[in-house]
Amino acid sequence: MRIEQRVTIFDAAELAPESSFWAALLGGTVRDLGRAHLVLVDDVPVVGVQLAPGHVPPAWPDGTPQQVHTDLVVSDPDQAHAEVLALGARVLGRRPDVDPGAGFQVYADPAGHPFCLCWDPATTPDANPGTQPANAATPTSPPPATQIDT
44-56: per-residue pLDDT in tens?
A: 999 999 999 988 8
Structural domain includes residue 86: yes
Mean pLDDT of the chain: 77
Structural domain includes residue 133: no
Structural domain includes residue 57: yes
Structural domain includes residue 15: yes
* pLDDT on residue 95: 54
Contacts of 32 (CB under 8 A, 6+ apart): 15, 146, 148
Residue 142 has pLDDT above 80, yes or no: no
Which domain CATH number covers 15?
A: 3.10.180.10
* pLDDT on residue 98: 46
Least confident piece of the model among 16-25, 56-65, 78-87: 56-65
Please count the structural domains in the chain: 1
Check if the beta carbon of residue 46 is closer than 8 Å to that of residue 28. Answer: yes
Structural domain includes residue 139: no
| Residues spanned by the domain of 29 | 3-119
Least confident piece of the model among 16-30, 111-125, 129-143: 129-143
